[in-house]
A = this chain, B = another copy of it.
Amino acid sequence: MKKNKRVGSLITELLSHPSKQYSYNQFCSKFDIAKSSLSEDITTAGEIIASEGIGRIETIQGANGGLRYVPALSDDRLKQLQTTLVNKLSDPARILGGSFLYTSDIMFDGQLTRSMGTYFAGKFANLNADYVVTVETKGISLAADVAFMMNLPLVVVRREAKYSEGSTVSINYFSGSYDRIQKMSISKRAVSQNKRAIIIDDFMRGGGSLKGVSEILSEFDIDVVGAGVAIASREPVKKKIASYLPVIYLDSIDEDANLIKASFE
């Protein structure tokens, strides 16, 4: 196999399995080449991926060594993504009244969730997480992309305990957005004790939902090691969770002036 085919094949395999670790031998036998040639191919493939701004190839030396594609978004790509999101979110046609915005088209746009997923995967890569967790419904597509990029299982917390989830643990929590007590429920089969989780959601106002997810996970002694949201409201300034990473901010909605302000700095 010629070098240009090997590099293309390496990229295809790695991009199809982000964050998965491969041994050098797998590719040496597949391509029937020595490790020194593979190392050159990896360098070339790594340069291409880096120049596309979607991450890097990490090589691990030693007996358990190998390589993996670590997704991440370059600063340029991130700024592009944030600009696109801010422009989309600022469309006054989204105003539903009562400080609600229609965002389902954004949250179910595969190219946008893919980019956001790549961004979060890069930021959370070193947290040794075991799960990506979200609460249904609008953040599922984004959380699935984060989980895919990090090669982790996705856990979806339900609003109501479903028979098809087996036995569940449920909690009640206060949702500021809806100004009422809400319920969430997690299948006991979905998680193990003493693990580490990253929480992903589409939108955060006061942080009640994310705190709820955090509480339900604490029933299994699962630590929340990172939290990412597509859109975070600037108000209220004080959130119910200590730290979170937004892609963009919703600054204000002025229904009378038909104006939405969003930003990312």
Contacts and interface: CB of A to CB of B under 8 A. Distances in A.
A100 B11 contact: no
B98 A163 contact: yes
A222 to B, nearest CB: 16
A128 interface: no
A10 to B, nearest CB: 8
Interface residues of A, number: 57
A245 interface: no
A52 B3 CA distance: 16
Nearest to A3: B4
Interface string A12-38: 110111000000000000000000000
B49 A163 contact: no
Contact of A144 (B16, B96, B140): B140
A5 interface: yes
A109 B131 CA distance: 11
Among A104, A114, A136, A189, find the residue whose CB has the most chain B CB atoms closer than 10 A: A104
A176 interface: no
A11 to B, nearest CB: 5
A137 B164 CA distance: 11
Contacts of A137: 136-137, 140, 156, 158
A164 B3 CA distance: 52
Contacts of A154: 108-110, 141
Interface in A121-148: 136-138, 140-141, 144-145, 147-148
11 contacts: A4-B4, A7-B8, A8-B44, A9-B51, A15-B15, A16-B114, A100-B164, A108-B144, A111-B148, A136-B136, A163-B178
